[in-house]
Amino acid sequence: MPNYQAISRQRHASQRWQRHSGYAFAAADAVIPLAAAEMPKAVISLPLAFIEQAEAFVPVAVLGLQPGSNLFVAPDGRWSGHYIPAAFRSYPFRLAQTEDAQQVLCIDEDSGLVSAGPAGEGFFTEDGQPAQAVLAILNFLNQIEQSRLATVAACAVLQQHQLIRPWPVTLQTDAGEQQITGLFQIDEAALNRLPADALHPLAQAGALLLAYCQLLSMQHLPVLGQLAQARAKAAAAPATLPPGDLDLEFLNRGDTISFGNLF
Protein backbone atom coordinates (compact mmCIF):
# COMPACT_ATOMS: atom_id res chain seq x y z
CA MET A 1 0.00 0.00 0.00
CA PRO A 2 1.25 3.51 -0.78
CA ASN A 3 2.35 5.65 2.14
CA TYR A 4 1.91 9.25 1.00
CA GLN A 5 3.39 11.89 3.28
CA ALA A 6 3.32 15.66 2.83
CA ILE A 7 6.72 17.01 1.83
CA SER A 8 8.18 19.29 4.51
CA ARG A 9 11.57 20.64 5.50
CA GLN A 10 11.29 18.94 8.87
CA ARG A 11 10.68 15.52 7.35
CA HIS A 12 12.55 15.61 4.03
CA ALA A 13 15.35 18.19 4.23
CA SER A 14 17.98 15.47 4.65
CA GLN A 15 16.37 12.97 2.28
CA ARG A 16 16.62 12.44 -1.45
CA TRP A 17 14.29 11.04 -4.10
CA GLN A 18 14.78 9.20 -7.38
CA ARG A 19 12.75 9.16 -10.56
CA HIS A 20 11.03 5.88 -11.35
CA SER A 21 12.63 3.76 -14.06
CA GLY A 22 9.60 1.57 -14.81
CA TYR A 23 5.88 1.24 -14.25
CA ALA A 24 5.61 -1.87 -12.09
CA PHE A 25 3.89 0.33 -9.48
CA ALA A 26 0.96 0.67 -11.92
CA ALA A 27 0.65 -3.04 -12.76
CA ALA A 28 -2.59 -3.44 -10.76
CA ASP A 29 -4.39 -0.40 -12.20
CA ALA A 30 -6.96 -1.66 -14.70
CA VAL A 31 -8.35 1.88 -15.04
CA ILE A 32 -6.85 5.27 -14.23
CA PRO A 33 -8.66 8.62 -14.10
CA LEU A 34 -7.81 11.18 -16.76
CA ALA A 35 -8.08 14.95 -16.77
CA ALA A 36 -9.67 16.65 -19.77
CA ALA A 37 -6.31 18.11 -20.85
CA GLU A 38 -4.96 14.58 -21.33
CA MET A 39 -7.77 13.18 -23.42
CA PRO A 40 -6.76 14.55 -26.86
CA LYS A 41 -3.42 12.73 -26.47
CA ALA A 42 -4.79 9.64 -24.75
CA VAL A 43 -7.39 9.13 -27.49
CA ILE A 44 -4.60 8.36 -29.95
CA SER A 45 -3.77 5.01 -28.36
CA LEU A 46 -5.93 4.16 -25.32
CA PRO A 47 -9.56 3.08 -24.97
CA LEU A 48 -11.39 5.63 -22.83
CA ALA A 49 -14.57 5.24 -20.80
CA PHE A 50 -16.40 6.70 -17.83
CA ILE A 51 -16.84 5.13 -14.42
CA GLU A 52 -19.34 6.12 -11.76
CA GLN A 53 -18.07 7.53 -8.47
CA ALA A 54 -20.32 9.02 -5.80
CA GLU A 55 -23.20 9.45 -8.26
CA ALA A 56 -20.96 11.32 -10.70
CA PHE A 57 -18.92 10.20 -13.70
CA VAL A 58 -15.15 10.27 -14.17
CA PRO A 59 -13.30 9.70 -17.46
CA VAL A 60 -10.73 6.92 -17.31
CA ALA A 61 -8.25 5.13 -19.49
CA VAL A 62 -9.16 1.43 -19.68
CA LEU A 63 -5.90 -0.47 -19.21
CA GLY A 64 -7.00 -4.01 -18.44
CA LEU A 65 -9.72 -6.62 -18.82
CA GLN A 66 -9.55 -7.90 -15.25
CA PRO A 67 -9.54 -5.98 -11.96
CA GLY A 68 -5.99 -5.65 -10.67
CA SER A 69 -4.32 -6.15 -14.06
CA ASN A 70 -2.82 -3.40 -16.22
CA LEU A 71 -2.05 -4.89 -19.63
CA PHE A 72 0.02 -1.87 -20.64
CA VAL A 73 2.66 -2.70 -18.01
CA ALA A 74 4.95 -5.42 -19.34
CA PRO A 75 6.27 -8.11 -16.96
CA ASP A 76 9.58 -6.25 -16.70
CA GLY A 77 7.84 -2.95 -15.83
CA ARG A 78 8.08 -1.27 -19.21
CA TRP A 79 5.11 0.72 -20.51
CA SER A 80 3.75 -0.95 -23.65
CA GLY A 81 1.65 1.90 -25.03
CA HIS A 82 2.27 5.28 -26.62
CA TYR A 83 0.58 7.59 -24.11
CA ILE A 84 1.34 7.41 -20.39
CA PRO A 85 -1.35 8.92 -18.10
CA ALA A 86 -0.25 11.88 -16.00
CA ALA A 87 -0.94 10.06 -12.73
CA PHE A 88 1.77 7.55 -13.65
CA ARG A 89 4.25 10.08 -15.02
CA SER A 90 4.19 12.07 -11.78
CA TYR A 91 4.78 9.05 -9.51
CA PRO A 92 5.89 8.90 -6.67
CA PHE A 93 4.37 12.37 -6.16
CA ARG A 94 0.73 13.36 -5.85
CA LEU A 95 -1.39 16.19 -4.50
CA ALA A 96 -3.52 15.68 -1.40
CA GLN A 97 -6.09 17.90 0.22
CA THR A 98 -5.77 18.93 3.85
CA GLU A 99 -8.67 19.35 6.25
CA ASP A 100 -8.76 23.09 5.48
CA ALA A 101 -9.03 22.35 1.72
CA GLN A 102 -5.41 23.23 0.93
CA GLN A 103 -3.50 21.23 -1.68
CA VAL A 104 -0.14 19.87 -0.51
CA LEU A 105 2.52 17.96 -2.41
CA CYS A 106 3.05 14.43 -1.09
CA ILE A 107 5.37 11.55 -1.90
CA ASP A 108 4.97 7.81 -1.47
CA GLU A 109 7.60 6.98 1.12
CA ASP A 110 7.10 3.25 0.53
CA SER A 111 7.85 3.55 -3.18
CA GLY A 112 11.51 2.63 -2.73
CA LEU A 113 12.41 5.95 -4.32
CA VAL A 114 12.98 7.94 -1.11
CA SER A 115 16.10 7.49 0.98
CA ALA A 116 18.67 9.22 3.14
CA GLY A 117 21.50 7.98 0.91
CA PRO A 118 23.51 9.96 -1.62
CA ALA A 119 21.61 8.75 -4.70
CA GLY A 120 18.90 10.87 -6.25
CA GLU A 121 17.83 14.49 -5.96
CA GLY A 122 17.27 16.66 -2.94
CA PHE A 123 13.85 17.97 -1.97
CA PHE A 124 15.30 21.31 -0.86
CA THR A 125 18.26 23.50 -1.73
CA GLU A 126 21.00 24.32 0.77
CA ASP A 127 19.16 27.49 1.80
CA GLY A 128 15.96 25.56 2.52
CA GLN A 129 14.00 26.42 -0.61
CA PRO A 130 12.16 23.77 -2.64
CA ALA A 131 14.41 22.31 -5.32
CA GLN A 132 13.68 23.27 -8.92
CA ALA A 133 12.71 19.71 -9.86
CA VAL A 134 10.20 19.56 -6.99
CA LEU A 135 8.71 22.90 -8.04
CA ALA A 136 8.36 21.61 -11.63
CA ILE A 137 6.48 18.55 -10.39
CA LEU A 138 4.27 20.70 -8.19
CA ASN A 139 3.46 22.95 -11.15
CA PHE A 140 2.65 19.93 -13.32
CA LEU A 141 0.32 18.45 -10.69
CA ASN A 142 -1.36 21.82 -10.13
CA GLN A 143 -2.11 22.04 -13.86
CA ILE A 144 -3.57 18.53 -13.82
CA GLU A 145 -5.67 19.41 -10.76
CA GLN A 146 -7.08 22.48 -12.47
CA SER A 147 -7.92 20.36 -15.49
CA ARG A 148 -9.49 17.74 -13.23
CA LEU A 149 -11.83 20.35 -11.75
CA ALA A 150 -12.84 21.41 -15.25
CA THR A 151 -13.36 17.74 -16.10
CA VAL A 152 -15.75 17.32 -13.19
CA ALA A 153 -17.82 20.24 -14.45
CA ALA A 154 -17.82 18.89 -18.02
CA CYS A 155 -18.95 15.44 -16.88
CA ALA A 156 -21.75 17.04 -14.88
CA VAL A 157 -23.02 18.72 -18.07
CA LEU A 158 -22.88 15.40 -19.94
CA GLN A 159 -24.82 13.77 -17.13
CA GLN A 160 -27.33 16.63 -17.05
CA HIS A 161 -28.12 16.02 -20.73
CA GLN A 162 -28.29 12.24 -20.16
CA LEU A 163 -25.45 11.58 -22.60
CA ILE A 164 -23.69 8.86 -20.60
CA ARG A 165 -24.97 5.30 -20.72
CA PRO A 166 -23.65 1.86 -19.69
CA TRP A 167 -21.07 0.33 -21.99
CA PRO A 168 -21.61 -3.43 -21.91
CA VAL A 169 -18.50 -5.24 -23.11
CA THR A 170 -18.56 -8.94 -23.95
CA LEU A 171 -15.17 -10.58 -24.31
CA GLN A 172 -14.71 -13.90 -26.07
CA THR A 173 -12.11 -16.00 -24.26
CA ASP A 174 -11.02 -19.64 -24.42
CA ALA A 175 -13.29 -20.26 -21.43
CA GLY A 176 -16.28 -18.65 -23.14
CA GLU A 177 -17.87 -15.23 -22.94
CA GLN A 178 -16.71 -12.83 -20.24
CA GLN A 179 -18.79 -9.81 -19.26
CA ILE A 180 -16.96 -6.62 -18.33
CA THR A 181 -19.19 -4.32 -16.31
CA GLY A 182 -18.89 -0.92 -14.68
CA LEU A 183 -17.86 1.01 -17.79
CA PHE A 184 -19.91 3.80 -19.35
CA GLN A 185 -19.78 5.45 -22.75
CA ILE A 186 -21.24 8.43 -24.55
CA ASP A 187 -24.70 7.83 -25.97
CA GLU A 188 -23.91 8.87 -29.53
CA ALA A 189 -27.53 8.68 -30.69
CA ALA A 190 -28.65 10.95 -27.85
CA LEU A 191 -25.81 13.36 -28.63
CA ASN A 192 -26.84 13.54 -32.27
CA ARG A 193 -30.45 14.25 -31.29
CA LEU A 194 -29.56 17.32 -29.22
CA PRO A 195 -30.92 20.60 -30.60
CA ALA A 196 -28.42 23.20 -31.76
CA ASP A 197 -29.02 25.47 -28.77
CA ALA A 198 -27.99 22.65 -26.40
CA LEU A 199 -24.60 22.17 -28.07
CA HIS A 200 -23.27 25.61 -27.11
CA PRO A 201 -23.24 25.01 -23.31
CA LEU A 202 -21.72 21.57 -23.95
CA ALA A 203 -18.92 23.16 -25.96
CA GLN A 204 -18.42 25.95 -23.43
CA ALA A 205 -18.01 23.42 -20.61
CA GLY A 206 -15.56 21.29 -22.58
CA ALA A 207 -18.07 18.46 -22.56
CA LEU A 208 -18.08 17.99 -26.34
CA LEU A 209 -14.33 17.39 -26.26
CA LEU A 210 -14.77 14.63 -23.69
CA ALA A 211 -17.66 13.13 -25.64
CA TYR A 212 -15.89 12.92 -28.97
CA CYS A 213 -12.61 11.73 -27.45
CA GLN A 214 -14.42 8.87 -25.72
CA LEU A 215 -16.30 7.85 -28.85
CA LEU A 216 -13.18 7.94 -31.03
CA SER A 217 -11.19 5.96 -28.47
CA MET A 218 -13.50 2.95 -28.58
CA GLN A 219 -11.66 1.73 -31.67
CA HIS A 220 -8.70 0.93 -29.38
CA LEU A 221 -10.55 -1.57 -27.21
CA PRO A 222 -9.23 -4.54 -29.27
CA VAL A 223 -5.69 -3.48 -28.26
CA LEU A 224 -6.46 -4.86 -24.80
CA GLY A 225 -7.21 -8.23 -26.34
CA GLN A 226 -4.02 -8.11 -28.36
CA LEU A 227 -1.97 -7.29 -25.26
CA ALA A 228 -3.64 -10.13 -23.36
CA GLN A 229 -2.84 -12.52 -26.20
CA ALA A 230 0.77 -11.35 -26.33
CA ARG A 231 1.15 -11.82 -22.59
CA ALA A 232 -0.41 -15.29 -22.67
CA LYS A 233 1.83 -16.28 -25.58
CA ALA A 234 4.94 -15.09 -23.74
CA ALA A 235 3.92 -16.99 -20.60
CA ALA A 236 3.22 -20.19 -22.55
CA ALA A 237 6.52 -20.14 -24.45
CA PRO A 238 9.10 -18.56 -22.12
CA ALA A 239 12.00 -20.23 -23.94
CA THR A 240 11.34 -18.30 -27.16
CA LEU A 241 11.47 -14.82 -25.64
CA PRO A 242 13.86 -13.12 -23.23
CA PRO A 243 12.43 -12.71 -19.71
CA GLY A 244 9.79 -10.00 -19.59
CA ASP A 245 9.79 -9.51 -23.38
CA LEU A 246 6.54 -9.36 -25.35
CA ASP A 247 5.89 -9.25 -29.06
CA LEU A 248 4.26 -5.81 -29.26
CA GLU A 249 4.86 -5.04 -32.91
CA PHE A 250 1.11 -4.74 -33.49
CA LEU A 251 1.14 -1.51 -31.44
CA ASN A 252 3.18 0.13 -34.19
CA ARG A 253 0.79 -0.85 -36.98
CA GLY A 254 -2.22 1.10 -38.08
CA ASP A 255 -4.37 -1.98 -38.57
CA THR A 256 -6.19 -4.01 -35.96
CA ILE A 257 -6.69 -7.73 -35.55
CA SER A 258 -9.88 -9.44 -34.56
CA PHE A 259 -10.36 -10.35 -30.93
CA GLY A 260 -13.87 -11.68 -31.00
CA ASN A 261 -16.97 -9.69 -30.13
CA LEU A 262 -15.56 -6.95 -27.92
CA PHE A 263 -18.48 -4.54 -28.03
The reply to whether the predicted model has a pTM over 0.95 is no
Domain locations in the chain as residue ranges: 4-219
What is the predicted pLDDT for the residue at 177? 74
Question: Cα separations (Å) of 2 from 41, 68, 150, 248?
Answer: 28, 15, 27, 30
Neighbour count for residue 254 (Cβ, 10 Å): 4
What is the predicted pLDDT for the residue at 23? 97
**Could you tell me which of 47, 3, 2 has the C-alpha nearest to residue 28?**
2
Give dist(CA 58, CA 158) in Å, integer. Answer: 11
Where residue 72 falls (left for φ over 0; alpha for ψ -120 to 50; beta otherwise) is: alpha
List the chain pLDDT tens, one digit each, 263 residues. 889 999 999 999 999 999 999 999 999 999 999 999 999 999 999 999 999 999 999 999 999 988 899 999 999 999 999 999 999 999 999 999 888 888 999 999 999 999 998 889 999 999 999 999 999 999 999 999 999 999 999 999 999 999 999 998 887 666 667 788 899 999 999 999 999 999 999 999 999 999 999 999 999 998 988 888 888 888 777 555 555 555 444 444 443 322 233 22
User: Contact at 8 Å (CB) between 111 and 2?
Assistant: yes
User: Contact at 8 Å (CB) between 174 and 4?
Assistant: no
User: Contact at 8 Å (CB) between 183 and 169?
Assistant: yes
Neighbour count for residue 93 (Cβ, 10 Å): 20
Give dist(CA 89, CA 133) in Å, integer. Answer: 14
What is the predicted pLDDT for the residue at 250? 42
Give dist(CA 216, CA 67) in Å, integer. Answer: 24
